[in-house]
Amino acid sequence: MKRNFLTTILASAIALAFFSCGGAKSSQAATSESASTETKSETKAEKPAYRVAMVTDSGDITDQSFNQTTYEASKAYCSAAGLDFNYYKPSGDSTADRVASINAAIQDDYNVLVLPGFLFAEAIVETAEMNDDVYFVGLDVGEFDIMEAAKAKGKDWSNLPANVFCAVYDEQLPGFMAGYAAVKEGFTHLGFLGGMAVPAVIRYGFGFVQGCNAAAVEMGIADKVTVEYVYGGQFYGDQQIKASMDGWYKNRGVEVVFACGGGIWTSAADSAKEIGGKVIGVDTDQTAQINKYAEGMCVTSAMKGLGATVKSVLEAIQNGNWSEYSGKISSLGLVSATDMEANYVQLPTDTWTMKNFTVDDYKALVAKLYNGEITVSSVTDKDPEVSITFNKYPNIK
């Protein structure tokens, strides 16, 4: 970006006065939520000043989902690291609104932007190249999202700009964990309600089926476990989706549904509360949201480690290791057999309520996945081969 000429002259004058006086102390006033003041020695080389801003997508920082998790992780890191932090909420749900918020943050001298959700693909393509001294961190923004957005703009982004990093996740792994845990907990009739049949949702779903199957085979009950499987054809709930879930819960005896895809989970929860059914959340720990429908409704959540991603990327930027992420779209999964919080895919342990499948059981499962003792296919164009009963239906819409 171009720098203001008068600002440059003023900065030079201040620097000249500083050295003429033999090195006076300097301080930076707090200008946002997590500002800090640091005294530096004149003989110590100054690190670049990073200022972090998060922009929300179509939700806000209290959505108990992507935005809130990203906001809290970004704020916590910046507070601990002494970095300025702020967030921006677009005035509407469009690419133009998201671009306006990105530009506002840049104009306010924030040079690290954390952008949660695939909706930011177009905004990143539109703004990143003209702001090459700003770091763009896209969470859950995949190659398909970016390439289609670039194509629509007439750009070739086969090689991402050096100031862009996008993270996607190995959704089949938390899907597997959730399915495995549910069957181990004692559920034998399960359902998967996906949003639209896009790769991320399919990986979640097929991972879930594989997890249900693995647990059932281990327990010797594969002939007693059934998974119903359908895509809603949209990322929000409505009466038609609820009617389908009513059929599952009330007529077929489904005990728990893994609802995966934006707000489509609300239809599963609306139906479940009428008969005391259960729901498995997705992406973030949805315990609080789901349990508002009925106490104890949420069994667990198949999560993406947004907090772990934010921490690792911001730490790399601050420590001068951006090259590890520069111009990449990375698929993130397990990085530790023992540190659950370090992994980019997880089940939540803070809100754990399962009795038969314990936190220790979960940790043992993660270790086996990490060490390769258990493998999970990420294939999305072929249904998983299983020993349990797997009923797959046409899209609801």
- pLDDT of 199: 86
**Pairing verdict, β 278-283 and 256-260:** parallel
Q: What does the pLDDT average to over 256-261?
A: 96
Q: Strands 389-392 and 226-231: what pairing?
A: parallel
Nearest CA to 109 out of 32, 208, 167, 216 is that of 32
Residue-level pLDDT at 316: 97
Instruction: Give the tens place of pLDDT for each residue, 43-87.
Output: 334 556 899 999 999 888 987 778 999 999 999 999 999 999 999
Residue type, 157: W
Say whether pLDDT at 36 is over 80: no
pTM of the model: 0.80
372 burial type by CB count under 10 A (0-12 exposed, 13-18 middle, 19+ buried): exposed
Report the pLDDT value the prediction gives residue 41, as an integer from 0 to 100: 35
Predicted pLDDT at 58: 83
Q: What is the mean pLDDT of the chain?
A: 89
The C-alpha atoms of residue 269 and residue 251 are separated, in whole angstroms, by 16
pLDDT above 80 for 356: yes
Q: Judge contact between 388 and 229, C-beta under 8 A.
A: no
Q: What is the mean pLDDT of residues 116-145?
A: 95
The tens digit of pLDDT for each residue in 273-332 reads 999 999 999 999 999 999 999 999 999 999 998 999 999 999 999 999 999 999 999 999
**Residue 339 to residues 38, 177, 362, 367, Cα–Cα distance (Å):** 32, 16, 12, 10
Phi, psi of 331 (to 5 degrees): -95, 120
- DSSP-assigned letters across all residues of 115-147: EESGGGHHHHHHHSTT-TTSEEEEET--HHHHH
- Intra-chain end-to-end CA distance of the chain, in Å: 46
Query: Closest by alpha carbon to 346, among 331, 358, 355, 335?
Result: 335
> Percentage of the chain surpassing pLDDT 90?
81
Of 168-172, 196-200, 344-348, the one with minimum mean pLDDT is 196-200
Residue 1 reports pLDDT greater than 50? no
Compare 200 and 23 and report the one with higher pLDDT: 200
